[in-house]
Chain A
Amino acid sequence: MVEPKVQGNISPVGENKPRIDAREKVTGAAVYADDIQFGNGLLHARIKRSPHPHALIKKIDVTKARALPGVKAVVTGEDFPGYIGLYLQDRYIFCRDRVRYVGDPVAGVAASSVEIAEQALDLIEVEYELLPPVLDPEFGAGAEAPLLHPDLGKYVVANFIFPQAGTNISNHFKIRKGDVDGAWEQCAAVVERKYRIPHIQHVPIETHVAIAKVEVTGEITLWGSSQSPFAQRNLIAQSMGISQSKMRVIAPFVGGGFGCKAGVSMEALAVAIATKVKGHPVKLVLTREEEFYTAFVRQGLVAYFKIGCDAQGRLLAMENKFYWDGGAYTEYGVNVTRASGYSSSGPYEVPNIKTDSCCVYTNHPVGGPMRGFGMPEMHAGLEQCIDELALQIKMDAVDFRRLNCLKTGSSLVTGSRMHPTGLPQCIEKAADAIGWGRKAPASAPNKRRGKGLALMWKAPAMPPNAGSSAWVELAEDGSLNVGVGGQDLGQGVFTVAAQMAAAALGVPYESVRVAIPVDTRYSPYEWQTVASRLTWSMGNAIVNAAKDARRQILETVSAAWEEPIENLDIVNGVVISFKSEKEVPLKNLVIYGLPKPDGQGWRGGPIVGRGNFMPTYVTGLDPETGQGERAVVHYTTGAQAVELEVDLETGRIDILRGVSAFDVGKAINPELVKAQMEGGFVQGMSSALFESLQLKGGVLQNPSFVDYRIATSTDAPKDLEAFIVEVPQDDGPWGARGIGEHSMVPTIPAIANAIYDAVGIRLDGPPFTAEKVYLAMLDAGIVK
């Protein structure tokens, strides 16, 4: 554990410091991408998109569109031959030869107004030759499915992703541990289930926004609502065939991301168009409807589970098959497949396990990262199977979990050992708070009440060497400026960054500011704001930067006072000596240094500390068995429990209470941690009850808030509790590990288990709409 010198009782770590950005946000002063003023030179972009799920492009005629007064540029795929993608470079910026989903970009227009750009779209003529679409991942994985990416074998791919050339399978991740086939006969109970998890959308309240400007010199600036300015710099530069140093990304405040603003998506369109109108900023704002159609989706999943245990309830074997509906391009989704594979045991010790997790191309929207990165989808089924297995052997579902859950030192699905974990404590907190085992009466005769609980685990899913860096510098007044490349999407990471920097250096929290907006030209490198990795990874970089500055400061003072460094400390912005009891405020030395005696010159100088962090210990996994020394950096674990009522007359579900307990290692800011648990619970609840992209023949039926419903203020439970468990992470700052995504991982199965407890039905997948619940009760004879 990185444990900076503790600064007495003034350390802001562990304190509920107010958000550093809240004042700007409550006054309307906070600047988001669409708020930046560009003046009269600004052009507006719109995108011509495919209305077909799968077709060859025979011809594109843009002559009429180009001739429309006010149109400054019309671009097509012809102009941009480079591939783009995070883990698998399988897409063009604009389609070149074929379209693969409804919404695939075919051409782009820049015009002096949005209206003119819209009119130009109508003038672009595209001739298609329709092809049969693939609309189901299981079918898509088979030999009879039309091939969507004939060039799959030629794509550039990360070395831990395994595409199967000549098929639609863009990644096949395998786990082979123990002897699964031999284990079934020792099982006293076996549960076999199939689940279908629908596509959903992230639905940030701010849609995607990008403004790109290309100088005559070819230098590119991109302003975007972005979780990943550095990844965008790298991937867009690669695709356009330019140097990364010519690409600059500026990322102002983000109005919610949840994964969909990670990697590169529509930003590349704005850049591509801007290359044809040099000197003009070009703005592309997705309409809410486009956001539903074309932003990264949480990809669909068809999951098969077979799970068995012995008569004492000990889990013996698991056999899992996941068919991920990766959509038209799986450049990012391939790693969801991998993550669900190496986590496929769930948070349990299972001696024998076989998993096949396949990412399959379909003609559906493009799958990408979403809060939880495959874990909510996978746990949705797995945690229901656990309840069913417990029921079969007549064991209490919580006792079953107590027995089988991962503990410190447990053997993991990938062969390594579990690091210290507080999962057992999380189970106790959640079970206790929900009143497990006690049944409360329903609030009305037509209602039935139930409780459910589910566990989770999740690791940051990222390349083994995803890195962070940070710098700190001090101003004349002793205030601290912290440079980071990670982004605040609302989770509060700027606040936490300031707390950690203040604590590690020894200055008051109030004197810290974070150097924003993130700008790849000035901000230090950060891989991406994803995977709940910033508090841990960027936090370590900040601590290292602060230590570096601290060393510089103390060396200067030590020389000036002729005292060993061990005698010195920085407390509350003042350097003090325990021995001589001398003190000097930082502001007196951090720019100009300290004078030597008798006018003999000066020592020190402006203080700039730098630090970085990159995990160096993550190993590869065997492609045939998924076994390896250390698959991931760590796992955050936790539990959720719910109490709900089902209305027997309508099937409506009312979530009465939600309880969350997660092991975050160390809560740098406990209230922000709890806020993540609450927000995640409600987003998870929303996905459990309301959300699905209704795709019919590849066409989205509900591309607006009218028919894609999310939880409102009236749907959120009145009683939401959050418990923090702290079993420290050995390489986390103060022991911290991530919590952003985890809080929506166990919500779907916790609710499903509670529905079963209430009325005795199980559905094959969310959302558990009133209609599905009612008709299931009707068909089961529970109501009539």
Chain B
Amino acid sequence: MAFHKINITVNGAQEQVVVPSNMTLMQMLRESLALTGTKNGCSAGECGACTALMNGEPVNTCMVLAAECDGVEIVTVEGLADDNRLSPLQEAMLATGGVQCGFCTPGVLISSRALLDRNPNPSEDEIREALVGNLCRCTGYVRIIEAVKAAARTQVAASA
């Protein structure tokens, strides 16, 4: 088994990790860095629970090799709050009741964050499309979608 030394920035912190070839980014985050907010729901790129930002774009971290990540920048759910201050998206998820069991929540937040980064004022259809890769079994999605809309309004208001 070959190992690789990678330098990676995770939630702003620089890390050096030695990883085996077959380790996924999801495993590295959860097992090597103990960032367990990123969840394992299928290990097949289908459920979205392991979604994190890689160089600003959302990826299923179960479908990325850790060995490929030398020099990249990762943001996980643990990196969304600013110190103790929740981001507008996190606040909105609390306010609308978009959280139930919470297992899809980290991935949903990351996908939504990526959406608002590329499209600060998305339509409802755009929100639904952006979240199609984040399966949720509890909420029926409606309150999650409301949360993204609310966060967009907050952000637009803040930047106006």
Chain A contacts to B: CB under 8 angstroms: 18-19, 21-32, 34-35, 37, 202-207, 253-258, 285, 287-288, 489-492, 671-672, 675, 678-683, 704-706, 710-714, 716, 718, 720
Say whether, besides A27-B86, A678-B143, A204 and B132 are in contact (CB < 8 Å).
no
Within 33-55 of B, Cβ neighbours of A (below 8 Å) are at: 34-44, 46-47, 49
Cα distance A28–B43 in the bound complex, in angstroms: 19
Chain A residues whose C-beta falls within 8 Å of the C-beta of B145 in the assembled complex: 713
Give 6 CB contacts A-B under 8 Å: A23-B86, A26-B105, A28-B106, A29-B37, A255-B41, A256-B103
Q: Which residues of A contact B36 (CB under 8 A)?
A: 28, 31-32, 34-35
Instruction: Out of A19, A30, A254, A712, name the residue touching B132 (CB < 8 Å).
Output: A712
Q: Are A489 and B97 in contact (CB under 8 A)?
A: no
Q: Which of B40, B124, B137 contacts A203 (CB 8 A)?
A: B137
Note all chain A residues with C-beta closer than 8 A to B136.
205, 713
Number of A-B contacts (CB under 8 A): 166
**Which 7 A-B residue pairings sit nearest by Cβ, starting from the closest?**
A28-B37, A490-B101, A255-B103, A682-B140, A25-B102, A490-B100, A705-B46
A710 adjacent to B93 (CB under 8 Å) = no
CA of A317 to CA of B152, assembled, Å: 56
Kindly name the residue among A31, A204, A675, A683 whose own CB sees the greatest number of chain B CB atoms within 10 A. A675
- Give the shortest distance, in Å, between A237 (CB) and chain B (any CB): 28
Residues of A within 8 A of B95 (CB): 18
- A205 and B140: CB pair below 8 A? no
B47 adjacent to A714 (CB under 8 Å): no
- Chain A residues lying within 8 Å of B137, measured Cβ to Cβ, are 202-205, 256, 258, 679, 683, 710
The residue on B at minimum CB distance from A674 is: B97
Residue B66 is within 8 A (CB to CB) of chain A in the complex: no
Q: Contacting A205 at CB < 8 Å: which of B34, B86, B135, B141?
A: B135
B39–chain A nearest beta-carbon distance, Å: 7
Q: Which residue of B lies closest to A114 (CB)?
A: B27
Q: How far is the CA of A680 from the CA of B100 in the complex (A)?
A: 12
- Among candidates B34, B102, B124, B144, residue contacting A253 with C-beta atoms closer than 8 Å: B102
For A207, what are the chain B residues with a Cβ–Cβ distance below 8 Å? Answer: 41
A34 to B76, CA, bound (A): 17
Could you say which residues of chain A place their CB within 8 Å of the CB of B101?
204-206, 253-257, 489-490
User: Which A residues touch B38, using CB under 8 A?
Assistant: 28
- Is there contact, CB below 8 Å, between A679 and B140? yes
The reply to whether A716 and B141 contact each other, CB–CB distance below 8 Å, is yes
Q: CA–CA, A27 to B36, complex, Å?
A: 11
Q: Is the CB of B94 within 8 A of A18?
A: yes
Q: Is B109 an interface residue (CB 8 A)?
A: yes
Shortest beta-carbon distance, A735 to chain B, in Å? Answer: 23
B135 & A710 in contact (Cβ 8 Å cutoff):
yes
CA of A206 to CA of B106, assembled, Å? 13
- In the complex, the answer to whether A288 meets B43 with C-beta atoms within 8 Å is yes
Q: Which of B78, B97, B104, B135 contacts A28 (CB 8 A)?
A: B78
Inter-chain CA distance A672–B100, complex, in Å, is: 9
Instruction: Provide the bound-state CA to CA distance between A704 and B37, in Å.
Output: 23
Closest A residue to B129 by beta carbon equals A714
Q: Are A491 and B100 in contact (CB under 8 A)?
A: yes
Contact present for A714 and B132 (CB under 8 Å): yes
- Interchain CB contact (< 8 A) of A25 among B99, B140, B142: B99
Query: How far is the CB of B5 from the nearest CB of chain A, in Å?
Result: 20
Asked if B34 and A37 make an inter-chain contact with CB atoms under 8 angstroms apart, the answer reads yes
A720 and B140 contacting across the interface, CB-CB below 8 Å: yes
* Assembled-state Cα–Cα distance A550/B77 (Å): 41
A705, B42: Cβ atoms closer than 8 Å: yes
Most buried by B among A27, A37, A705: A27
- Given known A-B contacts A207-B41, A675-B100, A713-B128, A26 and B86 have beta carbons under 8 A apart: yes
Check if B119 is an interface residue, CB within 8 A of chain A.
no
